[in-house]
Structure 1
Amino acid sequence: MKKLLLLAIAIIGITTFGSAQVKKGIQTVTIQTPTVQCESCKKRIEDYLKREDGIQKANVDYKHHVTKVTFYTERTNAENIKAAIANSGYDADDVKADAEAYKKLPKCCKKTEDGGGM
């Protein structure tokens, strides 16, 4: 009986400690994405970020040119997220879009100086 009680206390302690760790390791960042212009851009970035390890959710606001990303700090960081956005073809804060990925974007998603935009 005593062993059963100790086992139950140990399981409760581990469960409580484990759930506290997850909540503590979540962070949200807001990244300026000035080249995002339309719903297609929004979907492209959100879908790309879903595949990245550690990202819990991403929300692109193309009207205000910002992207909010919630992620697990143990798995990734803000710099990795900016690099992921750049790898999808868009500028992210001070990280410029990957040139090859940018070339593959549809015309509506490109900068106006490159003949794109709405």
Structure 2
Amino acid sequence: MKNLILIIFFSFFTNAICAQETKKNQKAVIKTNIECDHCKECETCGGNFRSNMLKIKGVKMYELDEKNMTITVFYNTQKTNLETIKGAISKMGYDADEIKADATGLGQLDDCCKKV
């Protein structure tokens, strides 16, 4: 009987640890404003966006959807949080949900990518 109780306890304990491990990776969809139809390919803006997104500590991967004007970000919650990511996107010159594009970052974008 004691062995059965230990096995059940161990099973619950293992499940709890596994559940915590999976929560450290998150996915967020951030609404943005993209003014051109070629931001991903744009030599200046696209390259800058690519390199800066991957410099954000904890960001594992991202997908820029120009058609739906969203950025899907996959990140590690133990290394960063959503507000930090949104702030970094704003500094690049793009809106990130409720955070408006930083004026300095916006000024560095090509004219085709700036808001009118």
Structure 1, unpaired ranges of 5+? 1-15, 114-118
- 1:33 is matched with 32
- Kept after mapping to 2: 8 A contact 1:89/1:99: yes
Instruction: Write out aligned runs for 1:66-77 (5 A).
Output: 66-77=70-81
TM-score, normalization by structure 1: 0.71
Separation of aligned partners in 2, 1:44 and 1:36: 16
- Cα 1:46–1:63 shift into 2, 3 Å: same
State the Cα distance separating 1:46 from its structure 2 match.
3.0
SS at match of 2:80: coil
C-alpha root-mean-square deviation of aligned residues, in Å? Answer: 2.2
Displacement of 1:43: 4.5
- Cα distance in 1 for residues equivalent to 2:100 and 2:86: 9
TM-score normalised over the length of structure 2: 0.72
The one-letter amino acid of 1:89's match is: G
Q: Which residue pairs with 2:84 in the alignment? A: 80
| Matched residue count | 96
1:35: Cα distance to partner? 2.9
What aligned pairs does 1:79-98 form with structure 2 within 5 A after superposition?
Answer: 79-98=83-102
